[in-house]
Structures are given as structure tokens and as C-alpha cells.
Structure 1
Amino acid sequence: MTVYLCRDAERLANGPDLAALAGWLAEREPRAEVRMAPGPCDHPERWLEGEGTRAERPVLAVCAADGARSELQARARRLGFDPVAVEIVDLGAASALAHDRAAATRGARAQLAAALARSRAYRAGQPESTKPVLTWDREVSRRSLFTLPPIRWDVVPAIRDEACAAGRGCRVCATACPHGALAFAGGRMTLGKPQCTGCGACVSACPVGAVELPGASLVQVEAQLDALLAREARDGSPAGILFLCHASAPSLARLPRPAAPYPVDWMPVELPCLGMVTPGWVLQCLAGGAAAVGMLACRSEDCRFGRRETIAGRLAYCRDVLRALGAPGDAVRFADVTDERALLEALARPLAAAAAPDGAAHLDLQPDRGALAQALGGLARRHGGAPAPTLDHAESPLGVVTLAPGCTACGACALACPTGALALEHAGADLSLSFDGARCTACGVCAPVCPEKVVRLDRRTDLAALARGRQALHRDHVVRCEKCGGPVATRALLERFRTILGGDPALATISRYCEACRGSIL
């Protein structure tokens, strides 16, 4: 692995100390080669010319990332590199968010640690993860007109069929897609590449982690956030995670340098789109060591997701949860690139007094593993909020399943549940239908498949239910066949048969014998 540091970065106002960065990298990453690259870095891919496989996953620390990511990736592809594996660190943004050189060096150090962590977590995509796009309608450099074809290869999600729960009725990714690019056809979930913008909303929405987006996979984002929240990269300074998209990233480097330190070290986390960021991500960051989390939106016409109201709803949910837990809701902030004054105010606004984070913890962004429930419990303990707050909210990433009278323990809901939140558990002739709220993503697959229509799902965050863990919703007993001892049906199901059949003589046979033995008796 090779890290390239642009020499021109030291000329920036509050530019980082490159010698200190190189020394820190040599100590932290002894197997990584650190090179001082000559400026200007308007075409950093030139640093890779002649490198071959020695720099298979390079990290390019540039003094200005001007947003021409697709052009850089196209040139890296021509040089024989996997373009998505090339990590770009914007030292200009780190300098713009710092009030002095020491802070800029600290921020650049954390960003480099995060880029290296992302690189190690990267898994190359398959051919189905790309789509060709004509670029005549996009602004490109004069050099590109003569050296590159008018086609770029955009990264799009790919679905791992072996992990996908669409066969059990799950349609979460299709519902999350704002462009109708996902549909169930031919027994599997399929992606329509022409409609896909690569926003990544399906990646973070999938309850079982079956959707992958090379360059922005869940494991890469986890690794990046873990590195940014690690205290050693920031000398113990409080961190703020600033989520932003590729389109809004260049605006950071253009910000005027702050005259005084910001209340936290803001750490940019660049994603394809803010549509990827779930409430679970935000709350896990706060529980895992971040003092604040911000979101920087691009211009509406540039947004790949196109649902600003959904992003606003997610932020509102996070603030409501924090207040219910006794934490300051202002720890979650939002700004727009079209309003620089509001952005600066959001970055500089002092944080309300709050308990210090316990320290960094590993983030787990896959929704079905219960990490969000653990994060909420940690926040509640830290801030001493209400012992059992309950919040009903349209953007709650958690759900609560309840049963009306009439459950027959058929298990249809448990079979359909993609995360295992619902489970049908057997213990001899006894069985129970149980629910674990920590694993429920409120996907809604369970209710429609219930033949008795007694399953209800509410988008609700209930800390008391989460703390209790798995609980039985319904208990029943399996009646055994009088002839062979095999299972006949649950008592509740037989009672349902009695209601339907009334005095039908066949009821006696159905109630006493299994399906195999009924034929020989009749």
C-alpha cells in the first residue's frame, strides 16, 4: 500500500505538517510506503504512472479535491488500477475545518487512518457492479477531450442472491429505492441499471446486508468510522462526524478558515449520497464516541436520492430520541451547501453540556445485528434519561410486533421474517412464537403473511422492550397423533378448525390423527 502526500498542501492556510504526517504514518503503518508527491495535484493520477502493482490500493492525499472523481477514476482504470480502490483524502478540507496547523495535522492524520482502514476493508466488485454512462453532458477538462472516451463507468449496487431475503417476501430495498430501479422478477431481486443513480439507499436499508456497493460498502464505512472515532488519531480531542456526499464535498475546502476552534474536530465522511445515512448510523456514532454528528446536503438538483423530506425525518427522529434519553438534540446538525453562513453556524455552534462519551466502540451498521439497540442503551445510561422512553415515529428504524387474539402458531410470520426477530421455538410438544425487538428493522414483511391477520407492526422505539430481549408473544402445545405419535396441529389451530367446521364429523378425525394417518383411517 502506498500513500502519496501532495507537497502543495503545506502552502494551504493552516495546511498540515507533512513531515509530521509522514512520520506518524511510518510509525503506524510500517508496511505502507509514504511518498511526497510534487504538486500541483489537479491530476493526481499522474503519480500512479509507472507504478504497476506496487501501488495496488493507493491513497492519494491531495490539497484540493475538485470533484472530478469520475475523471480520476477513468484515468486510474487506464493505468491498470481498480479505480474504486483508489482512496482520495482531501487535505484542503481538513485545513478548512481547522483553526491552526496543529488542528489541520490532527484532522489529516485521522482522515489518513480512515482511508487506510477503508482500503483494507475494500472488496472488489463484480462486472455487474458497473454501468456505462455517456459524459457529453458533464463538464470535463480540456485534456480529457483528447485522451478519454465520452464514457465513464459508474459503480452501482450488486445483490448477493445467497443472502437476499426477497424469496421470503422482503421488499425493503425496492421500497427504499427512490427511482424504481429494484424489482422482484424471476424469483430474485433485480437491479435496473439505467434507473439506478448509485445513491446507496438500498445498501443501508437491506435488513440482511445482501446489497453491496463497492467503494461504499457497509464494512468500509464501519472501518472508516471506527478509525475516525479512535482517540489516538486525534490526541483525545472530541470528534464530530460530518456526513456528506460526493457532490457537496468540494464546498468544504472553500470555507473560510475559522478564527477560533470549532467545538469538535469535524471529520468528513464522504458517501455517494446522504440517502445512505440511517438513524442507526447517527446514533451509533454518538454512542461510539462522537460528540456530534452533522449532515451536509448538496443542491437539490445534484441529489442522487431526491428525497430531502426523508433525510429531514431521519434527523428529526434522532433528535427526538436523544431528547427522550436526556441527551442534547443539538448533537445532530444539518446544513446545506447553498447556505454557507448556515453551514458555518452549524459547525461552530457550541455543544450543550453533556456527559462525555465512554470511548470509541466498534460500529456494526448491518441492521439485523442489534447494534442500534446496544447504542440506545449506552446513550440512556450515559445521559441518565427516562428509564423506558417509547417513541412512535415514521422514521424509526426499529419496530415492535404485537399479536391480537387468534394466533395459531403456524409460524408463517417467523418464516418470512428476514432478520430472525420473530422465531418459532420448539421444546418437546410445547412451542412459542417469540420476538426480539433489537433485531426488528420494521420491514413489515410479517404482517401481510399472517393467515389470521393478528400480527401488527408499529414503527416504535421502545427501550424497555429492547432491554427485555427476546420475549414470547404466544405459547401453545402441539397435539400428537393417537396412532403414530406424530404432530397433528397446535391446540389453537384445532380450536380454529372447530370454529370453522362446527359439528362436522370429520373434525374428530382431524383433531386426533396426523395427515398421514388420516388417509388409512378414512
Structure 2
Amino acid sequence: MSIAYPEFRASRCTRYRFRYSACSRCADACPHDAVALTDEGVRIGPARCQNCALCVTACPTDALGSDVLKPVDMLRQAIRHERFAIACAPSGASGDAVVPCLGAVDAGSLAYLAKRRIPVTLHGSVHCQHCAHGARGAAQLASNLDACALLQEVAASVDKPADWIAPQLDEPDAAKPDSPGATPFAAGRRQWFRRLVGRGAAEVAQSFDAPVAAPSTPDKAIRPGPYALPERRELLQIVCTRKDDQPFHVPLHDALPMMALSLRPGCTTCEACFRVCPTGAIQIEESPAHYQLKFDADRCVACAVCLEVCQPRVLDADVAFDARPEQPPRVLLAMAKQRCARCDRHFVSHTPQETCPICRDDEDAFAAIFG
């Protein structure tokens, strides 16, 4: 397999979109310390990179891409087979498709093939304990298989039995968290839940009538960029589609790039969450009379940068959610607009105001200069 280092797409990276983002998924997934984190994104060190593509799969926004890992091309090949074998390159095993590491085969692709009832065998997982990609590759493989099994369990709870064929390892014990060379991924999932839904009581905001004072996110901390929806997220829409239109309730999982948001009282309408979102999942709809902040679950990839940027800490991830596609966007906040008595602009405020924020800033500046 040729060396083709991952390509970095800055506008999709949460660290680029929000200068103070603490996201480190790609670096955490890299077994070779080849990923350097910066406030403008990441840098791949070619001297260290061994082309395992684990960082590519770990990134929910597709900020990293690799020519040696093309999941959609692999799926197009798989649907032409009655059964399909995927092999990891370092093990030397053979298969219908060869990938740089089995851990780089994402959960959505595995679930898609399982739902289509294509028997999939993963070859080479026993080599994890001897591989340079080692424990992190095995842990990511285990996490992806666990997420695939989770989706199958959800399908089975509404369609009894679920008509899926789960992927199989040629060495069933090789990728279990307690096997030699593997690292448990449960701790990572606990960390994920703490980060998304483990808010402290001190962060709970007050009501809209008395909003809590919170620092605003500096404008320069957020960089604009075009929206992009990863193919893996579109694939999960197919996986979670139901013919009878019944709910498909999925709990949060670190290997599944999807999430649902809720908003508690205390929003300051700073719109930082809207500006920082790399996929367009958070939307603003307004007219001269009304203002709405909406969330489109179909476009959310669970990058969680909106949760990081929210200074009042009132934006939360739901522990479980209905993952069916094409649901109408959820209205997180709806408000009637007010009209400025000075400049005649329409503006949004939680409390009645005679003038808009721009005019109030002008008045404050004038008073500060001239007294």
C-alpha cells in the first residue's frame, strides 16, 4: 500500500472554526504521534505518519481525508458481492477490499452492509497485538463494532427480529477490549458523556426573564467557512430509515457521528453556535416580526463545537434521540422581535427595550467620550 498522507481540510475542522476548541479526536486516535494540534487545525507530520487512517475515521466532520480509505467506493464494491471480506494491510491478509487498518472502517459503513444483509468478514484483527497501529487500532475497531451492534439492537427493538447480518471477525476474540494488545474504549465513551451532558449545577442558567450574565465569544475566535456534510452522516440516514416511520431511538455513541440538541433557559442570542457549526445543523430563520433558532438533526455530526462555544452553557446534547432522517428541524428558541425607537431596526431581546443594541452601544460610547 502506497504512502498517501491524510489531507487536511481546514474549513471542516472544529479547531479551525473555533480557535479555542479542545477537540483532539484525531490526535487521540493516532498511534504514532503524527498529529500536531494548533488553534488553526492540525498538522500531519510525514516523518511519523504511517498511513493507518485512524485519524480520518475519528474525525466526525471529515476534516481529514485519505486516498487509501474511500468508504463509499468500498460500499459500491461490496453491494455487488453476495459476501464481502475486508482485510487490514499490515496483517498481509487477503480480502475483497484492503484497508490500512480495520479500525478505520467506520461504524456507519458496517451498519449499512449489515442492514443490506451482506455477510462481512473482517480479516487480520489477530494481528493487532503485533501491529505498529496496535492498541488504538484495536480499540477503534471495537468501538465501531459496538456502535454497529447498537444500531442493530435498536432496529431489533422495533422490528422483531431485525433483518440484519452483523459483521464477523475471522478471529472473534482479537478485537475485544480485554484481549492482548487492545485498549478498552468504555472510558472514552464515559468521557464523551461527561463532555456532552455532564453539566455542573453552577452552569445551569436562570430563566429568560432574568438571563444570567455570561461572557460572549470573541468574534475573532470564530472563523467562517462553507458547510459540508460528510458522506458517513448521509450513510447513517439510510441506516436509520424506517418504512413504518416509527421512532428510531439511538443513544449517544462516540463512534456514531450524530446527535440531538436541546436548549435550556439562559440563551443570550449571541448566535455563536450558528456561526461556528461546520455542517449547517444549527440554523436561524427570521422575519421582521419573528426570530427562530433551529436544529436540523440530519446535518449534525456530533462534533460538539457548538457546546464548546456556548458561553452561558445552556446548549445540551440529548442522551438519546430519534435518529430517523427527514424530520422537521427542532425549534430551540422562538422570540418575537422588537422595533428600535431610534433607528427603526428590528432586533431580538429577552426583555423589553426601547432601543436596539447598536444604538445603545452608540449612546454608551458617546457618554464615555463626552460625559
For normalisation by structure 2, the TM-score amounts to 0.69
Q: Distance in 1 between matches of 2:229 and 2:90?
A: 23
Count of residue correspondences: 302
Unaligned runs of 5+ in 2: 157-161, 175-227
Which AA in structure 2 matches 1:192? G
Q: 1:161 aligns with which of 7, 10, 26?
A: 10
Indicate the residue corresponding to 1:185 in structure 2: 38
Q: Distance in 2 between matches of 1:372 and 1:338?
A: 27
Higher relative contact order (CA 8 A, sep 6+): 2
Q: 1:482 aligns with which of 336, 341, 346?
A: 341
Q: Distance in 2 between matches of 1:157 and 1:478?
A: 47
Q: 1:213 aligns with which of 40, 60, 66?
A: 66
Q: Shift of the alpha carbon at 1:454?
A: 0.5
Map 1:196-275; keep pairs closer than 5 Å: 196-216=49-69, 218=70, 221-230=71-80, 239-250=82-93, 252=94, 268-275=96-103
Unaligned runs of 5+ in 1: 1-68, 70-83, 85-153, 253-266, 340-363, 496-506
3-state SS in 1 of match to 2:113: helix
Indicate the residue corresponding to 1:311 in structure 2: 141
Contact kept, 8 Å, 1:442 with 1:458, in 2: the verdict is no
Q: Shift of the alpha carbon at 1:444?
A: 1.5
Which structure features the higher share of strand residues? 1
3-state SS in 1 of match to 2:135: coil
Q: Distance in 2 between matches of 1:270 and 1:434?
A: 41
Return closer, same or farther for 1:303/1:177 CA change in 2, 3 Å cut-off.
same
Q: Shift of the alpha carbon at 1:163?
A: 4.7
For normalisation by structure 1, the TM-score amounts to 0.51
Q: Distance in 2 between matches of 1:391 and 1:475?
A: 27
Q: Distance in 1 between matches of 2:134 and 2:128?
A: 11
Q: Shift of the alpha carbon at 1:302?
A: 0.9
Q: Shift of the alpha carbon at 1:310?
A: 3.2
Q: Distance in 1 between matches of 2:294 and 2:10?
A: 27
Which AA in structure 2 matches 1:481? C
3-state SS in 2 of match to 1:325: helix
Q: Shift of the alpha carbon at 1:311?
A: 2.0
Highest Rg: 1 or 2?
A: 1
Which structure features the higher share of helix residues? 1
Return closer, same or farther for 1:158/1:450 CA change in 2, 3 Å cut-off.
same
Indicate the residue corresponding to 1:122 in structure 2: none
Return closer, same or farther for 1:282/1:272 CA change in 2, 3 Å cut-off.
same
Indicate the residue corresponding to 1:293 in structure 2: 120
Contact kept, 8 Å, 2:263 with 2:316, in 1: the verdict is yes
Indicate the residue corresponding to 1:114 in structure 2: none
Return closer, same or farther for 1:435/1:519 CA change in 2, 3 Å cut-off.
same
Q: 2:269 aligns with which of 383, 405, 409?
A: 409
3-state SS in 1 of match to 2:10: coil
Contact kept, 8 Å, 2:258 with 2:300, in 1: the verdict is yes
Which AA in structure 2 matches 1:515? D
Q: Shift of the alpha carbon at 1:442?
A: 1.4
Return closer, same or farther for 1:292/1:435 CA change in 2, 3 Å cut-off.
farther
Which AA in structure 2 matches 1:229? I
> Cα RMSD between the aligned structures?
3.3
Return closer, same or farther for 1:229/1:336 CA change in 2, 3 Å cut-off.
same
